[in-house]
Each structure stands twice: as C-alpha cells, then as structure tokens.
C-alpha cells in the first residue's frame, strides 16, 4: 500500500454548533459530501436571514467532488443546497421524501440550471470508483431518514445522520438495526454519530405516544383544534390527521411550508389523508367549529408565521374564537422561549385554551438519548469515533460516553469545522485545517455582510447614531454651513435640545480650531471632531452612539 492511501474526513460545518451540517469524505481522486445544511442566525446577527458554510475546500477540489449524499430533509441538512449547487453542480442523492422536499426547495429558489436528483432506496448502494455509498434506514423526527455507510478500501465509515431509535415508528418502517449490526460485525473503521442529546440520560419516547396524548386532548375539545408543529414532521402531521379523522374533524393546512411539505408528502405517499378530509382554510368559516382541525406553522413563536399571526390578529383568514384549543406540539429551540411565551399569553388573553410542553406531553425529541447512543456504539464497535452534530459540550459528553463503554481516548477525535481527520491503514490523526466558516445571507446578498458590518449593526442597535454634517469651502478653507446634527435611535431630540446644542458647539469648536491651524487632512479633522463629541456625549449620558462626521467640500 503506497503512502498516498489516505482517507480524509473533513467536516465543513455542524461541529461546535447545532446546524449547517456538511462533511467531505475524500479518498484519492474522489470526494463525496454528506449533507449540505444551513444554520439560522442567533439574535446578535442582526438582519442575517441564513448562514451557509464556506465550501472553499470543495471549490478548490471541484473536479474530485462526485456527489452530495443527504441523510434527511431537515433544513440543517439541506438548507445550503440552492447556494452550493450554484457553485458545484454535482448529483444529489437521497431517499424519496428527502429529494421531494429538496426538489420543491430548488424550484422555489429559481435556479437557472439543470440539477441532478437521484432517489436512492434505503438498502441501496451507489458505487463510485473507489467509494461505495450505502443508505441505511433510520428513525428521526422526519420520515425517510437514513444513515450512510461509506465503504472505502481502508474500511467502512458509518455516518448516522440525525437519529433516534423508535421501536414503534408511525410508518411502521423500523430503523435497520440489523444492517448496522452486520456492518459493525464486518468491522467499522470510523463511526460518526449524532451528539445532539448526548447530555440526556435514558431513552427517547416513541413518536407514537404523542398520538395517545392527542387523542385524549381531541376527545375533550368542543371548538376548533389548532395545532402548531414543524412542517417537516410528517409523522406528527399524520397523527394529528389520525386523531382528527377519529373525532370527525376535517383538516386544513395553513402556512407556506406546512402547505408545501404536506403536499409533497401526500404526493409521494408519506402522508395519508382521504381527500374528503382535507379542507382549504377558506372553507373553515362555513363549518361547525368542532369539525375542524387546523395544522399551522409557527411552533417557535416566529412573529411572521401562522401561529403568531393568529394570536395577534394579523392572520388574514383565521381569527381566535372563544372555544379554540391550541396545541403547540414542539419544544422551544433555545433562544425562542420568549417569543413562544408571548404567543401563549396572547392566546390565553383572547380566551382560547392552549396546551404546550409544560402542561402535557405533546412533543418528543428526534435525537437519541444516552441509552440509544450506547446501543449504536455497541452494535458498531468502531475503530475510531468522531462525535458529530453538536456544540462542544455535546461532543465532549458523547466522547465521555464512548470512553465509558471502554473505547480508548486516543481513538476518539473531537473535530472542529475544517479539521482534517486522516486515516491510513494503520493509523489515524488530525492533520491541520482547511478554510471554512460562516457565509451570511441577508436578502439577496450572499457573503456581503460580515463581521465589520455586523459590528456596526450591533453598535447602531445599542445606542443609535449621531451624524454631524458640515460644509467647508475648499478654496478659502472656511466653514460655510453646519454643523448640523441628525440622530437616529439616540434620544428623543425634542427633549434633548440642550444636549444637541452642546454637540453642535463642541463640533464647531473643534472645526474652527482645525481650520485656523490649517489641519487640512480631512480624516484628522473628522477624528478630532468625533472624539470631542464622543467625550461630551459619554459624560452627559454614559452612552456611546455611533458618531458619523461628514464633511462636504464645496
């Protein structure tokens, strides 16, 4: 075996963070990419709509990239596809539902080129020159999710994707533990496994238990039932449908993603509802309230999504009515607690009843808890292990879990985005890093908002802005107009006339001094003026607004 026989694993996103999952696996002249996710901005990333991974490494090795293999249809696994395919248009592989969701997404983004989507049935294998990629059925909070085994000349890599072990899945399609076990028995070089819930002891509850809770709740409801949940959770949707049918209710889907995903899932045979049980939102008005279920988006309290619009009376078609029963069938994603609470308060104020996680078991997690992770490790018995999908705390706890099962510490690698894991026949180690990072999407702009722009936005947000404008005659070097002061987000100007007056005074003094002393470098003049005004404002208010001095040369 020559020295070149190396297998590289390079996560370009999803490590040290929740979201934006994407990993490159490279052997000789072949690179395959597992998942192509996006992340959502946190509240300090003002104005940013979406975060996608920096895939410079793939662009630099474009000719090697043979395909993108998707484990399941969640945004943090598919959300960057419209952006990445624009740059590297390789075939995309995934299960039927996954590709159905992707196709819808790509259509919506109006790509001006042909893309190649290849449906793979779980159990099937895609053979490349050296690599063979096998899809293995798993269970998760979206239907048709898969783990991916990559068979290489140096051994097999098993990438779990997101998973939980649900012994009673809604669609009856069990996770293929037997195949995973078989691969484990044959020998696995490297396990890459979901760490999201590595801190949570015990075992997740089956999705099926939600159905029982829903039935109990539905049986007591005598007005409309309005359920907010993730649009992608087809199994949850199915259970809401089942409870509705059982209790003689017809179902309306409301919200863009809810309508679009339910449509795809019905077309592809993943969501089952007789046609005469589906109604349009427009038809609700004509029906008895206790014959209606509405499934809507907005379970995270997002101000522009269905649930919040209904709560705050900005929904065009659905108004809260007294006997309405709302069910929020989701957990708050950290950071969203206040948004959700605002919606709950508002619904209660309007006289509706609201059921949420704190009160009833209306949500279960889609990510394996510790006992499930242990089963995965025991079945796979890998030579090496890389915990994936998680912040550092989750990766660290997953590492500790593997050690508690007897794995040696030096066989476990905690990677960062961009870390290069390199395995040879006999050895494995981390070898430096490749370029990676966050590309921020704001409106149509991809990557034109970065740290400096965000820093400015944060500064503007904290204390607003004070603009000072003066006009200076170039020739005579005299002040001919100003200083004028315009503020935004600083103080109520009417109540702060005195302060603004002082700002003008101080700016004028600096200016006159500079002009008298022939300080002809505008940038010097500006920075003097800025400093003087800053000092004054901080003294008077203990605030530091953005100061923007503008000099017009006439």
DSSP string, 295-363: EES-TT--TTSHHHHHHTT--SS----TT-EEEE-SPPPTT-HHHHHHHHHHHHHTT-EEE-TTTS---
Q: Minimum distance between the CB of residue 347 and a second copy, rounded to whole angstroms?
A: 9
CA 364 to chain centre: 19
Residue 131 near residue 32 (C-beta atoms within 8 A): yes
465 binds a second copy (CB under 8 A): yes
76 is in an annotated binding site: yes
Strand 146-152 to 250-254 pairing: unpaired
Strands (E), 138-178: 146-152, 155-159
Q: Minimum distance between the CB of residue 377 and a second copy, rounded to whole angstroms?
A: 20
383 binds a second copy (CB under 8 A): no
312 binds a second copy (CB under 8 A): no
- From residue 12, give the alpha-carbon distance in Å to each of 54, 56, 74, 81: 7, 9, 17, 14
**Site stretch for a second copy (CB under 8 A), options 226-234, 426-434, 436-444, 501-509:** 436-444
Q: Binding to a second copy (CB under 8 A): which residues in 19-38?
A: none
Q: Minimum distance between the CB of residue 61 and a second copy, rounded to whole angstroms?
A: 25
Q: Minimum distance between the CB of residue 363 and a second copy, rounded to whole angstroms?
A: 16
Among 462, 476, 478, 535, binds a second copy (CB under 8 A): 462
The C-alpha atoms of residue 187 and residue 189 are separated, in whole angstroms, by: 7
Q: Minimum distance between the CB of residue 381 and a second copy, rounded to whole angstroms?
A: 26
Question: HSE on the CB side for 69, CA within 13 Å?
Answer: 31
400 is in an annotated binding site: no
* DSSP letter, residue 50: E
Strand order in the sheet with 465-473: 478-488, 465-473, 546-553
397 is in an annotated binding site: no
Residue 70 vs 388, nearer CB to a second copy = 388
**Site stretch for a second copy (CB under 8 A), options 114-122, 167-175, 233-241, 448-456:** 448-456
Q: Minimum distance between the CB of residue 210 and a second copy, rounded to whole angstroms?
A: 20
**Phi, psi dihedrals of residue 6, rounded to the nearest 5°:** -125, 145
Nearest to 366 by CA among 130, 158, 207, 169: 207
Q: Bridge partners of 13?
A: 22
41 binds a second copy (CB under 8 A): no
Residues labelled as active-site residues? 194, 367
The C-alpha atoms of residue 16 and residue 170 are separated, in whole angstroms, by: 32
Question: How many residues lie near a second copy (CB under 8 A)?
Answer: 69
Nearest to 56 by CA among 451, 433, 392, 444: 433
140 is in an annotated binding site: yes
Residue 325 near residue 240 (C-beta atoms within 8 A): no
Q: Minimum distance between the CB of residue 380 and a second copy, rounded to whole angstroms?
A: 25
Among 122, 387, 418, 482, binds a second copy (CB under 8 A): 482
Residue 89 vs 496, nearer CB to a second copy = 496
223 binds a second copy (CB under 8 A): no
**Site stretch for a second copy (CB under 8 A), options 364-372, 389-397, 432-440, 510-518:** 389-397
Residue 524 vs 554, nearer CB to a second copy = 554
Residue 493 vs 524, nearer CB to a second copy = 493
484 binds a second copy (CB under 8 A): yes
Q: Bridge partners of 69?
A: 34, 93
- Each residue 46-85 as x (binds a second copy by CB under 8 A) or -, in order, gives xx--------------------------------------
DSSP string, 113-135: S---EEE--TT-EEE-SS-EEEE
486 binds a second copy (CB under 8 A): yes
The C-alpha atoms of residue 386 and residue 160 are separated, in whole angstroms, by: 11
Report the 10 Å Cβ neighbour count for 187.
12
Nearest to 165 by CA among 123, 206, 202: 206
Among 8, 64, 396, 411, binds a second copy (CB under 8 A): 396
The C-alpha atoms of residue 20 and residue 45 are separated, in whole angstroms, by: 16
Among 428, 490, 526, 533, binds a second copy (CB under 8 A): 490
The C-alpha atoms of residue 56 and residue 436 are separated, in whole angstroms, by: 7
Residues that bind a second copy (CB under 8 A): 16, 42-43, 46-47, 199-200, 334-335, 337-338, 341, 344-346, 348-349, 354, 358-359, 391-393, 396, 442-445, 448-450, 452-454, 456-465, 467, 469, 471, 480-482, 484, 486, 488-492, 495-496, 540-543, 546, 548, 550, 552-554
Q: Which residues are annotated as a binding site for Zn(2+)?
A: 72, 74, 76-77, 140, 162, 389
From the annotation, which residues make up the binding site? 47, 49, 72, 74, 76-77, 140, 162, 231-233, 363-367, 389, 442
């Amino acid at each position: 075996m020559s020295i070149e026989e190396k297998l590289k694993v390079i996560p370009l996103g999803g490590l040290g963070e929740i979201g934006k999952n994407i990993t490159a696996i490279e052997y000789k002249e072949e690179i395959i990419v597992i998942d192509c996710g996006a992340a959502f901005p946190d509240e300090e990333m003002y104005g940013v709509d979406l975060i996608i991974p920096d895939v410079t490494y793939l662009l630099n090795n474009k000719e090697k990239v043979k395909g993108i293999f998707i484990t399941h249809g969640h945004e943090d696994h598919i959300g960057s596809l419209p952006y990445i395919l624009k740059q590297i248009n390789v075939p995309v592989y995934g299960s039927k539902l996954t590709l159905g969701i992707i196709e819808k997404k790509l259509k919506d983004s109006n790509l001006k080129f042909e893309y190649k989507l290849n449906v793979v049935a779980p159990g099937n294998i895609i053979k490349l020159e050296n690599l063979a990629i096998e899809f293995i059925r798993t269970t998760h909070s979206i239907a048709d999710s898969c783990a991916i085994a990559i068979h290489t000349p140096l051994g097999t890599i098993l990438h779990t994707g997101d998973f939980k072990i649900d012994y009673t899945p809604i669609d009856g399609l069990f996770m293929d533990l037997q195949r995973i076990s078989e691969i484990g028995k044959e020998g696995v070089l490297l396990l890459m496994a979901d760490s999201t819930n590595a801190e949570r002891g015990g075992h997740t509850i089956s999705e099926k238990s939600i159905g029982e809770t829903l039935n109990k709740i539905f049986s007591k409801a005598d007005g409309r039932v309005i359920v907010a949940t993730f649009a992608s959770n087809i199994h949850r949707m199915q259970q809401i449908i089942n409870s509705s049918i059982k209790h003689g209710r017809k179902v309306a889907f409301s919200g863009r993603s809810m309508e679009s995903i339910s449509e795809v899932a019905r077309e592809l045979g993943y969501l089952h509802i007789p046609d005469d049980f589906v109604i349009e939102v427009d038809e609700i008005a004509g029906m008895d309230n206790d014959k209606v279920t509405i499934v809507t988006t907005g379970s995270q309290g997002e101000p522009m999504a269905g649930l919040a619009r209904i709560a705050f009376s900005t929904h065009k078609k659905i108004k809260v009515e007294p006997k309405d029963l709302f069910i929020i069938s989701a957990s708050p994603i950290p950071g969203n607690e206040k948004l959700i609470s605002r919606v709950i308060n508002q619904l209660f104020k309007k006289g509706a009843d609201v059921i949420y996680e704190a009160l009833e078991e209306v949500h279960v997690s889609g990510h394996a808890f510790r006992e499930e992770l242990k089963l995965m490790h025991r079945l796979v018995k890998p030579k090496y292990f890389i915990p994936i999908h998680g912040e550092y705390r989750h990766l660290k706890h997953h590492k500790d879990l593997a050690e508690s099962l007897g794995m040696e510490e030096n066989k476990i690698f905690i990677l960062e985005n961009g870390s290069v894991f390199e395995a040879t026949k006999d050895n494995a180690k981390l070898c430096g890093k490749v370029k990676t990072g966050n590309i921020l999407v704001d409106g149509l702009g991809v990557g034109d908002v970065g740290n400096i722009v965000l820093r400015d936005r944060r500064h503007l947000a904290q204390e607003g802005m004070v603009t000072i404008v003066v006009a200076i005659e170039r020739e005579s070097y005299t002040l001919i107009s100003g200083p004028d002061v315009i503020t935004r987000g600083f103080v109520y100007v009417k109540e702060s006339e005195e302060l603004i007056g002082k700002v003008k005074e101080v700016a004028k003094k600096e200016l006159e001094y500079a002009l008298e002393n022939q300080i002809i470098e505008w940038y010097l003049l500006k920075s003097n003026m800025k400093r003087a005004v800053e000092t004054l404002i901080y003294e008077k208010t203990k605030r530091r607004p953005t100061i923007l001095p503008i000099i017009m040369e006439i």
